[in-house]
Structure formats: C-alpha cells, structure tokens
Structure 1
Amino acid sequence: MPSPTRLPHPPERSPKRSADPVAPASRPRRPIAALSVGHACVDVYQGAVSALVPFFVAERQYSYAAASGVVLAASLLSSVVQPLFGVLTDRQRMPWLLPLSTAVAGVGIALSGVSRSYPLTLVFVALAGVGVAAYHPESARVARIASRGSHTAMGWFSLGGNVGFALAPVLVTPVVAAGGLRATPVLVVPAAVGTVLTLLALRQGASDPAGARKAAHSAGPDDRRSFLQLTLAIVCRSIVFVVLGGFISLYARQRTGGGATAGAVALFVLYLGGAVGTLLGSRLAARWDRVRVVRWSYVATVFAVAGVVLVPGPALYPFVALTSAGLYIPFSLQVTLGQDYLPSRVGTASGVTLGLAVSVGGVASPLVGALADATSLQAALLPLIALPAVGWLLTRRLPEPPAPSGI
C-alpha cells in the first residue's frame, strides 16, 4: 500500500530582530508607568525654576544676572552632589531615596516664593535642586532593572521627566499669576502625588535585587574614554537647554511683543517638544544605532537654535519646538549609552548623564545673564548656536556599545 504523500513543512521564519533588547510582550509596563509619572512629578520642580524667573523679575525687580543666579542655585549644588548619589547607589541599593527626594524637591520650590530675601530664595531653590539630584541616579538604576534593558521602556521613563518639564509653566504660571510668589506653597501638590507613585512602583517590584545582581554579574569592561566624550557632548546640550529654559520666556516677550502668556507658551513649547523628541529618539534607535541618532540630532539642532535666536515674531515658536526635539531625541539614548559605556557603575553613569552633565548647564546662566545686561539678550544667546556643533564633533567617532545582557 503506498504511503501517503507528505506535504513539505513550510520553512520556519526567523523572528525579526529589533535593536531594542527586550521584546514588547516581556516589558514590565506597570512599574515603568508608575516610575514615568513619578519622574514627571519630580521634574516639574526643575522646570518650575525657569517658570518662576519672570515672576522674580517682575515682582522683585531682579536683574538678568540676579535671575540667572536663581537658575544657578538650582543647578550648581545639584550638579555637584548628583554624582555622589550615583556612587552611593552603585555601592548600595537605596530605593527609599525616590519618595524622599521627591518630597524634598517639592518643599524647596514651595518655600522659594515665601520670603523676599534673595539669599533665602537661593537656599530654598538649592534645596529643590538637591532633591532632584538625589532622585535621578537611583531612579535611573531602578528603571534600567524594570525595563530589562529596553530602549523603548527607558524612553517612556525619560518621557515622564520631559512631561514634568512641560507641565511646569502650565502649573506655575496660573498659580503665581493669581496669588503672587507667596502662592508657591500650592506647588507642593505634584510632590505629594509623586511620592505616592514611587512607593507604588517599588511595591510592584521595580527595584528587583535579583535583577540588579544579574545585571552586575553580566557587566562588561568599562569604556571610560567614550563615556568622557559622551559626557562633554551632554554638557554642550545642557548649556543650550538650561540657558534657553531660563531666558526663553523673557526672550519670547521681547521678540513677539507679547506679555506673560507669550513667555509661558514659549517655555511650554520648549518642554513639550522635549517630550516628543524623547519618544522619537527611542523609535529611531530601534531602526538605527543610538550613536548615529545622537550624532545627527546635534546637526539638526544647530539650525534650530539659529532660528530661535535670529527669527523674530511668532515664527520663533516652531524653531523653539524644533530645538527642543533636537535636544531631546538623544536624551534617553545618552543615558543608556552612558550605562553601557560604564556597565560596572550604572549608578555613577546615571548620575552623570541624567544629572551632572544635564544640570551643569546652569553654571553658564550667570555668564549669559551678565552678557545680556551689558549688551542685549539676543547677543547673549548667539553663542548657543555653536554648542550643538561641538556636540556633533564629540560624538562623531563614538562606538556603539553592545546591547546589555542579563538584565
């Protein structure tokens, strides 16, 4: 009896490989979602400083130099202590830092408008900066474990911070416009929400000690030279973003002839464009490697910043949006690149890329403010055009590190 004819099996299709190390189905969405919203709540207080600057100028008659001193107070101490927190989180898990630092950041901004004393205002703003500094290294370490190395999941975590920045002028401007600077205690509300959300994320297992041990065990050799080059590029980006964040409200009023609303809209666009850029960056990194995306984003930012500084009238706003997107496309990618360049020191890498190199741009604010007092605000902003070009030069020969394993 003839045996039945057997149909050949169709060839097995190999699954399409993605540049994202973790398949979508395996991503722990709930802890990342809670961490992302908590990140938004704490970064409201970074954006709040820039949103408060026009009110300090109007209500207390601060000069450009004095106003930029407020920005410096928020960023300088934060820049110094942030790597220290990174080193501590490399040595010991400190998930309790997330709710505590969120509360400290909120209290600092809440008290910043209560006293008319300039030194006390600097102290309270600096306290908020310390809270933000303490939050980022540990939160980035926790998010890396919760995301299992996924660029897209880390993009969502970073997006939370961008949304917090974007919401800052929306929250601050109505409150302070209605009640004056003495109404700043109302601004403690996001900190209360963020504290609850970070506690929820930790209870959902975001800070998994077993995952942390596995990540440390799989760490490869550190590439300190590439990490240094990346850090210098982030510093260039930071100067552009922090200076624009501190002065874009005042500059938009001058260039458009508008009032407080015109300034608040410019600041909102600057921060909202960052949220779009962060998501776009993680998507682009799934198609091309991270270094290439970072490199070309700096090239595009040169032309965008030139438009912000040189184009008058309402046409300023599209260039603000393009600048923000260009500065934030590489944002979460630079965080994971830094972690992959220093795989044995993820907390330190996070403290530098997500903290020190980002906030150190505030050191340049007093120089820009002094130059604006001596010449004009437009003349003081002109040097910003060159900085993204320097960032491109620094990242031009960076290698793409291997994808993390064992997370």
Structure 2
Amino acid sequence: MQTRVDDMPLPAAPAASHAAPATEFRILGAISFSHLLNDMIQSLILAIYPILKSGFDLSFAQIGLITLTYQLTASLLQPAVGMITDRKPMPYSLPVGMGFTLCGLLLLAVAPNFAVLLLAAALVGTGSSVFHPESSRVARMASGGRHGLAQSLFQVGGNAGSSLGPLLAAWIIVPHGRGSVAWFSLAALLAMVVLLQVSRWYRDHHVVRSKTHAHHALLVPLTRTQVAWSLLILGLLIFSKYFYLASISSYYTFYLIHKFGVSVQNAQTHLFVFLFAVAAGSLIGGPVGDRIGRKWVIWASILGVAPFTLLLPHANLFWTGALTVVIGLVLASAFSAILVYAQELIPGRVGMISGLFFGFAFGMGGVGAAVLGHVADARGIEYVYGLCAYLPLIGVITAFLPNLERKRVA
C-alpha cells in the first residue's frame, strides 16, 4: 500500500546532548522590561484615540484604520523576520527595531494630518515586527527548558506596558496635549540601551544554546496533516482572542463614555485596569502550561471566558469594570501556552513560529479594530459588545488539538 507524503510523520526533535543550561532570569528580566517599554509606546496610540478623534474629526472607521495600519505592518513583516533570523540570527536587530518605534513616536507627536498619523502608526508597527520574533527567540534561549515560564515572563512585560499607556495618557497627554507624546521617546531610547546589552548576550550565546536547547522529553512525531490542522485550530483561537481584545482595547473608552457618561480620564483609568488584568493573566498561562499541559490552559482560557463576555453587555458600570478584570485575567493566559504549543509542533523554527503567531495576533487585532469600527459607525458601539460576546465560544475547537504531553517519550 502506498503511503501519502502528507501522512508521513515529521521527524522528532533531536535529543539534547548536554544538560539544559540554567534559566537566565537576568536576560529574561531585561527582555521583559524592553517589552514593557515597547508595548507601552504602542498602547499610547490606543490611549489617545479620543484626542485624535476630536483633534482630526475622525470617524470610528478611521480610528480602526489607524489600528489596522500599525498592526498589519507588524503582522505582515513578523513572519518574514522570523524566517530570516532562523537561518541567520541578527542579534543587533533588536535595538534597530526599537529605532523604528522611536521614529514613529516622534512623528505621532507632530503629525499634521490623518495620512501622517497612518505613517507614524506604520513605523511603530515596523519596530514591533523586528522586536517580537527575535525577543521571543531570546526568551526561549534563556529559558533553561522552562519554555512556558520564559514566554510568560516575556509576555507579562508587554502586557504591563500596554496597561501603562492609558494611565500615562490620562496623566500626561490629556492635560498637556498631543505634543507631549514626544517625551516618551526617552522610553524608546532607554529600551535601545537595554537591548544593546541583550544583543551582546544573544551574540555570544546563540551558537551554544542552539545545540543544547532541545526538549528533555521528546515529542512522538505527528503527521504533516496533524500539524497543519493543529496550526489551523490555533489560528482560529488567536482570531477569537484578538478580535475580542480589539473590541476592548480600541473601543472600551468610547463604550464607557457613551453608555455610562464617564469622563475621558475616568474611561482611560478603566482601560488601564483592564490592561493591567491582562498583564497579570499573561503571567499565569506559561508556568501552568509547563505543569499541567498547554492544551488545558488554552481550553480554559478561551472557552472559560465566555460566560463573562456574555454577561458584559448587560452589566452596570461597577460590574462592567469587574467583569472586564476577570475577562482580562482569563483570556490573557492563552497566548504563552498557544505560542509554546506551536513551537513544540515544529521544533527548530522558533523565529518563524514566533513571527507567525505574533504577526497573526497583531493582524487579527488590526482587522478586528477596522471591522468593529465600521460596525460601530453603522449599528452603534453597544452593538459591538453584544456581537463580540460570542467569540470565545470558538474555544470549543481546542478539543481537536493533539495532547502533546501524552505523546512524550519517557
């Protein structure tokens, strides 16, 4: 009987010939801090949407287009960056990428029209396209085999930075105007200094770590068809997660202002609380996945948040705040588990997988913001939250993922 090529098993990851190196918490801390600064700068764009909307007389669709521009820039370039650096690591690309973010930030502060706003957003997206795949690779190199923990530590920096953006916008940019955005270029400069130190460590260690970084427990080979279906399922879960997050990160302030009549600063404080909950949740998924299995974390994170998203459109102001905290905590725990699960599906392609999944996540967030902006213009902002409440139900397809932990060889 002839065997189909698509059903031939993929080769297992090669056995490690040396004991795994110790976890480099100093490097993980540095890369997490850089992620905090990078994503804090990105979140400033989201946080000053009310200022941009009134200052440039923008529609919700144009607000969504700003998000689409910077997130699609990142999403289209990240997989390419990951594939290139899988073949030829580029340690010093990290501070260079942050340089693009710095330029975008300065341009945002002085942009005279909507077209220049889009260019500034594209530069910030370009910086992220370089930063995320290579930073994720550094986190895995420094993990000492604790891959979920390392990705969670890396991810919590970014989510903490995202939560700070609205708070800093409320304290600094709202009182002093859009030009005060330029002061945050100092954060980008600090990140470049930190990343130069990380780049030196990366340069000195990538050859040694690449030889000793394989799993202690090897995966039983999956067929190419199984891997392809698993990646498709993970992609649908990313779609569910980031479309829903786009509804809050891009439009939560408008929702609170419209439905409850709160001030801009009060709404930005609520957004900070939600994003802080996201940061806290991101620290949970990786270490728990290391212990109990990534599939179960993914399942609980995506599907488990559905009861809370379904209640949110019917809640008063107090319960809206409380429910969004729970939603942020639970939903955020998925990404680290999804990313490490995908890296284990295709061993040896850390850059490509990291770029693909970070890029797809950003892309889905951007597309979600643009689509939901059009829906908000046509049907109202409250309709958006009623519609998006059903997205986490897609999490039921997690049942079809292979349980990799049961497929490990003793």
Which stretch of structure 1 is more off in the superposition, 49-58 or 222-231?
Answer: 222-231
Map 1:285-296; keep pairs closer than 5 Å: 285-296=289-300
1:356 aligns to what? 360
Query: What's the C-alpha RMSD, in Å, of the aligned pairs?
Result: 2.5
For 2:161 and 2:184, the matched residues in 1 are separated by: 13
Aligned partners of 2:56 and 2:113 also within 8 Å = no
Alpha carbons of structure 1 residues 403 and 106: separation in structure 2 relative to 1, 3 Å: farther
Give the superposition deviation at 1:25: 10
2:403 aligns to what? 400
Map 1:294-373; keep pairs closer than 5 Å: 294-373=298-377
Aligned partners of 2:72 and 2:363 also within 8 Å = yes
Which stretch of structure 1 is more off in the superposition, 376-385 or 217-226?
Answer: 217-226
2:176 aligns to what? 179
For 1:372 and 1:217, the matched residues in 2 are separated by: 47
2:137 aligns to what? 141
- Give the greater-gyration-radius structure (CA): 1
Give the superposition deviation at 1:237: 0.7
For 1:289 and 1:196, the matched residues in 2 are separated by: 37
User: Which letter does structure 2 place at the counterpart of 1:401?
Assistant: L
Give the superposition deviation at 1:130: 1.0
Which stretch of structure 1 is more off in the superposition, 339-348 or 175-184?
Answer: 175-184
Map 1:86-101; keep pairs closer than 5 Å: 86-101=82-97
Alpha carbons of structure 1 residues 364 and 286: separation in structure 2 relative to 1, 3 Å: closer
2:100 aligns to what? 104
2:389 aligns to what? 385
1:35 aligns to what? 31
User: Which letter does structure 2 place at the counterpart of 1:279?
Assistant: L
Aligned partners of 1:242 and 1:359 also within 8 Å = no
Give the superposition deviation at 1:318: 0.9
2:60 maps to 1:64: yes
Map 1:115-126; keep pairs closer than 5 Å: 115-126=111-122
Structure 1: state its 5+ residue gaps: 1-22
1:154 aligns to what? 151
Deviation track 1:217-244 (CA, whole Å, cap 9, x = no partner) reads: 9996572321221122112111111231
Alpha carbons of structure 1 residues 404 and 25: separation in structure 2 relative to 1, 3 Å: farther
2:266 aligns to what? 262
Aligned partners of 1:73 and 1:122 also within 8 Å = yes
2:54 maps to 1:50: no
Alpha carbons of structure 1 residues 358 and 308: separation in structure 2 relative to 1, 3 Å: farther
Deviation track 1:235-279 (CA, whole Å, cap 9, x = no partner) reads: 211111123100011112223321012211121122101111112
Alpha carbons of structure 1 residues 53 and 78: separation in structure 2 relative to 1, 3 Å: same
User: Which letter does structure 2 place at the counterpart of 1:328?
Assistant: A
Deviation track 1:337-356 (CA, whole Å, cap 9, x = no partner) reads: 11111213111110122232
For 1:389 and 1:404, the matched residues in 2 are separated by: 27
Deviation track 1:71-118 (CA, whole Å, cap 9, x = no partner) reads: 111112211111111111211101111111122113212311312210
Structure 2: state its 5+ residue gaps: 1-18
Give the superposition deviation at 1:50: 1.1
2:243 maps to 1:239: yes
User: Which letter does structure 1 place at the counterpart of 2:272?
Assistant: F
Aligned partners of 1:227 and 1:342 also within 8 Å = no
Aligned partners of 1:231 and 1:352 also within 8 Å = no
**3-state SS of 1:79 partner:** helix
Aligned partners of 2:303 and 2:396 also within 8 Å = no
Aligned partners of 2:163 and 2:272 also within 8 Å = yes
TM-score (norm 2): 0.87
Aligned partners of 2:47 and 2:268 also within 8 Å = yes
